[in-house]
Amino acid sequence: MIGTTRSRVNVFMNKFRRLGYVDYDTGRLTVNATALQAMLRD
């Protein structure tokens, strides 16, 4: 997503967080590998 605005990235990150794919807090990003694998399989 080269050239994407900060606000657009924020929309995607919030969506991924809501779906349980990622969790992030100050300075740390955690990917839920199980949820990500399930999403990629479908």
**Who has greater pLDDT, 2 or 20?**
20
- Domain that includes residue 20, residue range: 6-41
pLDDT tens per residue across span 10-34: 999 999 999 999 998 888 999 999 9
CA gap 12, 32 in Å, rounded: 15
Q: Is residue 1 part of a domain?
A: no
- SS3 at position 32: coil
Which tokens go with 26? 């100050």
Q: Is residue 36 part of a domain?
A: yes
User: What does pTM read for this prediction?
Assistant: 0.69
For the residues 5-13, what does the mean pLDDT come to?
93
- SS3 at position 30: strand
Count of domains observed in the chain = 1
Number of Cβ within 10 Å of residue 32's Cβ equals 16
pLDDT score recorded for residue 1: 65
pLDDT score recorded for residue 27: 86
Which residues have a Cβ under 8 Å from the Cβ of 36 and sit 6 or more positions away? 21
Q: Is residue 13 part of a domain?
A: yes
